[in-house]
Amino acid sequence: MYQAPVEDMKFVLRNLVGLDEVAALNGMDMVSDDLVEAVLEEASKLAGDIIAPLNHAGDMAGSVRHEDGTVTTPAGFADAWKAMSDGGWIGLNADPEHGGQGLPQCVSAAVNEMWNSANLGFALCQLLTQGAIHALEVVGDAEQKATFLPKLNSGEWSGTMNLTEPQAGTDLAALRTTATPEGDHYRIRGQKIYITYGEHDMSENIIHLVLARLPDAPAGVKGISLFIVPKYLVNEDGSLGDRNEVHCLSIEKKLGIKSSPTAVLQYGQDEGAIGYLIGEENRGLDCMFLMMNSARFDVGLQGLSISERAYQQAVGYARDRVQGTPLEGEKGQSIVHHPDVLRLLTAMRAEIEAMRAVLLVGGVSLDRAHHLSGDEGDFWQERANLLIPVIKGWMTERSLQLTSDAVQVHGGMGFIEETGAAQHYRDARILPIYEGTTAIQANDLVFRKTLRDGGAAVRALMSEIRSDMDGIKAGGNGVGTLGTHVAAACDTAEGALDTLLARANSPRDAAASGADFLMMLGFLSGGWQLARAASAAARAEAAGEGDPAFMKAKKATAGAYMAYALPEVDKLAAKISEGPDALFEMDPDWL
């Protein structure tokens, strides 16, 4: 079963994020060690006791669509959603003015990790609902906020994001869904696919955010508007009215996340579904990207979450399974003592702890961007914008290897569905695909976040890394060599940045290097944070603070990262240097 890594979360929030600095932000004075500890402990109980036990059974049963278009989620899901809603967990980081809890993104991210480790398919509904809340908070008008936000924050209603159509995937310029003005609303007609929790039985209403075109809209992505289309219309007194004209035609049969209903939705088979414009006409893509940016951060979080769940299961199996006698070990010892199994698990733990640290540091960047103004706010928004494609791309790509390693630890039993290890491997495969593939994240990072400013944002990040490593090398607490390793990797990464910038006149070369550049920054950022973590652990150890075993393990984990993960920076830098020339020697007709 799953046990939330609460101690590591608390360590990262205290030592790497800095809860005291978060509490100093405008409106965050309620944040304290005691509050965060209470939140994490309570969330861990719900995740471990209620949500996690539904994971394997939910995968086996899946969600089911009935002939009338309704969808039933696996047994226990509706009750778990009610427990999550009753606990106030849906709108954890939402504005208290409309029923949210108002906690910072960095704390909400730690809690969301628990839900997604416990049950990835179930937790998707909450992530999409949080994204809808965020979009409405930013671009909804006063009436829309008052109508929809309290019910979304309470979990009585849930939210979705509707972009993709059969002919319009990544290329939203091909979108055909239409919105025809009719009095104070619009009539929406069209079909959307891949709609996560587009129909289900967990909440009493579903609020769809739908991209569509007005009759006189310009062609391409500049002619897309965003609409609120509720499953049930809402009366003036807030009660539910008539069923809107949106229907589930089918739900997809998938490789993984089988418990999550991925719907094909038809809007307007007859008169058209009633929708309400959110934000400005023809600015829908800008509005939707508010939700998309949140979703990309959250999908990166899912990469961490599924890796943690797979790791815990692999450790549990390796501690129990006896097979052969480990080299220089004793008869009867379990396979965790075999050097190669120990290598796999140690490297997994190192990357997972690096991911968690980078994620929560990214979360506090969003908090600072939201709560600070002027140059400070601009700096942190730029930092968050830089980190989000790295978080999404690096963590989801690595989740494929980490969940595969967890299957490998199980040996043949990992290939058998009964153990549950295969489910994590299957569930992880969607993560580098949805909410923007790794290539899309790489293009965003390279073209919008790197080439556009001549590499200034990336150099600012590297400057901070070097400064931190200088402090660690000078700290004299036994972890200085970690700072040396990361500083050297930073030099290598900056050389790769120079190569990328030198090729800026060839967009094709830049695109060919994008995924490697993204992964390189991910591995570098992970080393940065684990070196900081080891330094904090060494200081705590010297001061006699905290659990000595935890602090020793934290330092050992950082050392393992430098040995097994950080060298990827050198490899990826070499690919950035040599890859494009080699790639374009290949004629596609030869493939």
- Does residue 44 contact residue 115 with C-beta atoms inside 8 Å? no
Q: 226 forms bridges with which residues in the sheet?
A: 211, 278
Average pLDDT across the chain, whole number:
96
- Does residue 528 contact residue 587 with C-beta atoms inside 8 Å? no
pLDDT at 254 over 80: yes
Q: What is the pLDDT of residues 415-451, one digit of tens each?
A: 999 999 999 999 999 999 999 999 999 999 999 999 9
Note the pLDDT of residue 565.
98
Mean pLDDT of 116-123: 98
pLDDT at 519 over 90: yes
Q: How far apart (Å, rounded) are the C-alpha atoms in residues 538 and 557?
A: 13
Q: What is the pLDDT of residues 346-365, one digit of tens each?
A: 999 999 999 999 999 999 99
The answer for residues whose C-beta is within 8 angstroms of residue 544's C-beta and 6 or more apart is none
Closest to 161 measured CA to CA, from 138, 134, 188, 182 = 134
pLDDT at 211 over 90: yes
Quote the DSSP letter at residue 73. P
Q: How far apart (Å, rounded) are the C-alpha atoms in residues 478 and 498?
A: 33
Note the pLDDT of residue 497.
98
pLDDT at 169 over 90: no
pLDDT at 113 over 80: yes
281 domain residue, yes or no? no
Kindly tell me the sign of the dihedral angle through the C-alpha atoms of 227, 232, 233, 238: negative
pLDDT band at 72 (very low <50, low <70, confident <90, very high): very high
pLDDT band at 174 (very low <50, low <70, confident <90, very high): confident
463 domain residue, yes or no? yes
Closest to 54 measured CA to CA, from 122, 142, 147 = 122
Q: What is the pLDDT of residues 452-504, one digit of tens each?
A: 999 999 999 999 999 999 999 998 788 999 999 999 999 999 999 999 999 98
Q: How many domains does the chain have?
A: 1
pLDDT at 94 over 80: yes
* HSE-up of residue 395 (Cα within 13 Å, Cβ side): 32
The helix, strand and coil proportions of the chain, stated in percent and rounded to the nearest 5, come to 60, 10, 25
pLDDT band at 26 (very low <50, low <70, confident <90, very high): very high
**How many beta carbons lie within 10 A of that of residue 48, not counting itself?**
17
Q: How far apart (Å, rounded) are the C-alpha atoms in residues 397 and 319?
A: 27
Residue 177 dihedral angles phi and psi, to the nearest 5°: -55, 135
pLDDT at 535 over 90: yes
Domain that holds residue 579: 437-584+587-591
Catalytically active residues are: 435
- Does residue 566 contact residue 527 with C-beta atoms inside 8 Å? yes
Mean pLDDT of 578-589: 91
150 domain residue, yes or no? no
Q: What is the pLDDT of residues 372-428, one digit of tens each?
A: 999 999 999 999 999 999 999 999 999 999 999 999 999 999 999 999 999 999 999
Mean pLDDT of 278-287: 89
Residue 63 dihedral angles phi and psi, to the nearest 5°: -85, 150
Helix (H) or strand (E) holding 246: strand 246-251
416 domain residue, yes or no? no
CB-based burial, 211-239: b 16+ in 10 Å, e otherwise: bbbbeebeeebebbbbbbbbbbbbeeeee
Closest to 480 measured CA to CA, from 547, 539, 564, 526 = 539
Q: How far apart (Å, rounded) are the C-alpha atoms in residues 508 and 498?
A: 16
pLDDT at 291 over 80: no
Quote the DSSP letter at residue 26. T
336 domain residue, yes or no? no
Q: How far apart (Å, rounded) are the C-alpha atoms in residues 328 and 538?
A: 30
Quote the DSSP letter at residue 591. -
The rounded radius of gyration (Å) of the Cα atoms in the chain is: 24
Q: How far apart (Å, rounded) are the C-alpha atoms in residues 574 and 562?
A: 18
Kindly tell me the sign of the dihedral angle through the C-alpha atoms of 7, 293, 28, 148: negative
488 domain residue, yes or no? yes
The answer for residues whose C-beta is within 8 angstroms of residue 94's C-beta and 6 or more apart is 100, 101, 102, 130, 133, 134, 137, 149, 153
User: Angle at Cα 35 formed by Cα 31 and Cα 41, nearest 5°?
Assistant: 140
509 domain residue, yes or no? yes
Q: How far apart (Å, rounded) are the C-alpha atoms in residues 484 and 98?
A: 48
Note the pLDDT of residue 221.
85
Helix (H) or strand (E) holding 200: none
Length, in residues, of the chain: 591
Please classify residue 26 by burial: count the beta carbons closer than 10 Å to its beta carbon, then call 0-12 exposed, 13-18 middle and 19+ buried. Answer: exposed
pLDDT at 288 over 80: no
- Does residue 396 contact residue 302 with C-beta atoms inside 8 Å? yes
529 domain residue, yes or no? yes
Note the pLDDT of residue 2.
96
Residue 132 dihedral angles phi and psi, to the nearest 5°: -65, -40
Note the pLDDT of residue 178.
96
